[in-house]
Amino acid sequence: MPETSPTRSNNFDGWLDSYSERAHTLSVSEVRALFAVVSRPEVVSLAGGMPYVSALPKELLAKAYESMMAKKGDLAIQYGGGQGDAELREQLRDIMAIEGIHASPDDLVVTTGSQHALDLVAGLFLDKGDVVLAEGPSYVGAIGIFRHYEAHIEHVFTDDDGISPVALQEAIDRMKAQGRRIKFLYLVPNFANPSGVTLAKERRPQIIEICQREHILILEDNPYGLLYFDKPVPDALRSMDDNVIYLGSFSKILAPGFRVGYVLAPPALRDKIVLAQESALLCPSMFSQMMISEYLSVADWRKQVDTFRGVYRERRDAALDAMSEYLPNLRTTKPDGGFYLWVTLPDGIDSKAMLPLAVKELVAYTPGTAFFGDGTGQQHLRICYSYPTPERIKLGIKRLATVINLQTELIETFGKKK
């Protein structure tokens, strides 16, 4: 994989024989490779995954900044504790309570985005060869972390109601029959990245029951739960089982530039997360934490989340309308919240191979292969509708249709490749 990295090929590396084993697990992600493309204004990017932060009134932040600095300026720019700001952790209770979680702030650890929470937790559990169970498809950033810890990612069949309990049990049995150590089940239960699907209410206790019986830890990653379009999501898995490790984030309900996320964990594990965090970066930014804490105090943050919901609902509608209009024969998920559509391509089209053609047509997406740890996913692609305007989304999907239809015609004329 290193050979494919465009940034490394012409750099002579005098330390090549010195790297650790884990250094060789790193490769340029397919999402990252797109960043250069995405930044060109003529390209409609349906890749990315960026929230539309322009919908956040900057006056709210200015108010928070002034109030924070007036009240606790010296604390905001000083080192803080490794567990995170106590006041922010107290405020997080209200946010988690919306999805039925009633927890102590003592069991929360604030982190540098929920990505770092996931990295810290994964590091505490994963030895080389350990198994992580994950939805199929699963979040690309999680796959990267699990790979970095040299874990085996076993995808579990996932449909429009989320991960399948039957398939989960089968996967567990399969891994156990192979004598492998399963460390945890990782899932994004609400408006998942990349599928957009939500784990059905009736499946939640089933998933918990299986994992309890099999003594498998659950990592519930929930950055999108509050961004529902019509009705609230079912209660979190964590609300039904205190042993679930719950990850939350401000990146989607406020802004990612602060890099503030959090993890709720049983006390013994929480202590280990704090120690791992202190080792990695001493403490999360007090400046970022206190900005968010103050924002939650001085702004009507629930109303702002509602504003975001409206923005993303309109964009989801634009995306689905455009799919019906330009690609009526393709199967796509129909998300009730969040940022993503998951599209199944006609037989014989490889989304990764098609990407350069799409970019030539001035539209970008993320190939399905990014969301699997096992090399599959070629027949899928992810559309992210959170960032472009509805008009741009429609234009992008129209362009995508041109590319897909041309591919389909080629296949019909000349037959499938390979």
Residue pair 107/267 in contact (Cβ under 8 Å)? The answer is yes
Paired sense of beta strands 217-221 and 182-187, if any: parallel
For a second copy, give the closer residue by CB, 311 or 400: 311
Say whether residue 63 binds a second copy (CB under 8 A): no
CB of 327 vs a second copy, minimal distance in Å: 28
The Cα angle at residue 402 between residues 400 and 407, in degrees rounded to 5 = 95
Binding-site member from 285, 293, 369, 386 for a second copy (CB under 8 A): 285
Question: 342: buried, middle or exposed (CB in 10 Å: 19+, 13-18, 0-12)?
Answer: buried
Exposure string (b/e) for 272-286, b if CB count within 10 Å is 16 or more?
A: bbbebbeeeeebbbb
Considering only residues 65-84, where is the footprint of a second copy by CB under 8 A?
A: 65-66, 69, 73-82
| Residue 125 lies near a second copy (rule: CB under 8 A) | yes
Nearer to a second copy, 8 or 331 (CB): 8
Show the binding pattern over residues 256-275: x = contacts a second copy (CB under 8 A), - = does not: xxxx------xxxx-xx--x
Q: Which are the contacts of 101, defined by CB distance < 8 A and separation ≥ 6?
A: 235, 236, 238, 239, 246, 264
Which residues does 178 contact at the CB level (< 8 Å), separation at least 6?
none
Can residue 284 be called a binding residue for a second copy (CB under 8 A)?
yes
Closest CB to a second copy among residues 70, 177:
70
**With binding defined as CB under 8 A, does residue 179 bind a second copy?**
no
- With binding defined as CB under 8 A, does residue 60 bind a second copy? no
The answer to whether 375 touches 345, Cβ cutoff 8 Å, is: no
Q: Which of 144, 338, 373, 396 binds a second copy (CB under 8 A)?
A: 144
Place of tokens 């990653």: 221
- Nearer residue to a second copy within complex by CB, 293 or 378: 293
Q: Are 143 and 371 in contact (CB under 8 A)?
A: yes
Binders of a second copy in range 357-416 (CB under 8 A): none
Q: Could you tell me which residues come within 8 angstroms of residue 323 by beta carbon, excluding any fewer than 6 positions away?
A: 330, 332, 341, 343, 397
Q: Does residue 23 touch a second copy according to CB under 8 A? A: yes
Q: Is 91 helix (H, G, I), strand (E, B) or coil?
A: helix
Q: Which position among 124, 167, 298, 411 is part of the footprint of a second copy (CB under 8 A)?
A: 124
User: What is the contact mask toward a second copy in residues 79 to 118, using x (rule: CB under 8 A)?
Assistant: xxxx-----------------------------xx-xx--
x-marked contacts with a second copy along 37-56 as a string, rule CB under 8 A: -------------xx-xx-x
Residues with Cβ within 8 Å of 102's Cβ and at least 6 positions away in sequence, in order, are 93, 96, 239
Amino acid 347 reads D
Q: Output the smallest distance, CB 329 to a second copy, in A.
A: 34
Between residues 203 and 252, which has the closer beta carbon with respect to a second copy? 252
Tokens of 300: 């009507």
From residue 296 to residue 335, the character string flagging contacts with a second copy as x (rule: CB under 8 A) and all else as - is ----------------------------------------
CB of 321 to a second copy, least distance (A): 27
Q: How many residues bind a second copy (CB under 8 A)?
A: 88
x-or-dash pattern for a second copy, window 195-224, by CB under 8 A? ----------------------x-------
- Residue pair 158/311 in contact (Cβ under 8 Å)? The answer is no
Whether the Cβ atoms of residue 188 and residue 224 lie closer than 8 Å to each other: yes
Among 4, 40, 62, 205, binds a second copy (CB under 8 A): 62
CB of 328 to a second copy, least distance (A): 33
Cα angle 199, 346, 312; round to 5? 45
Q: What binding mask, one character per residue, do residues 181-200 give for a second copy by CB under 8 A, x or -? A: --xx----------------
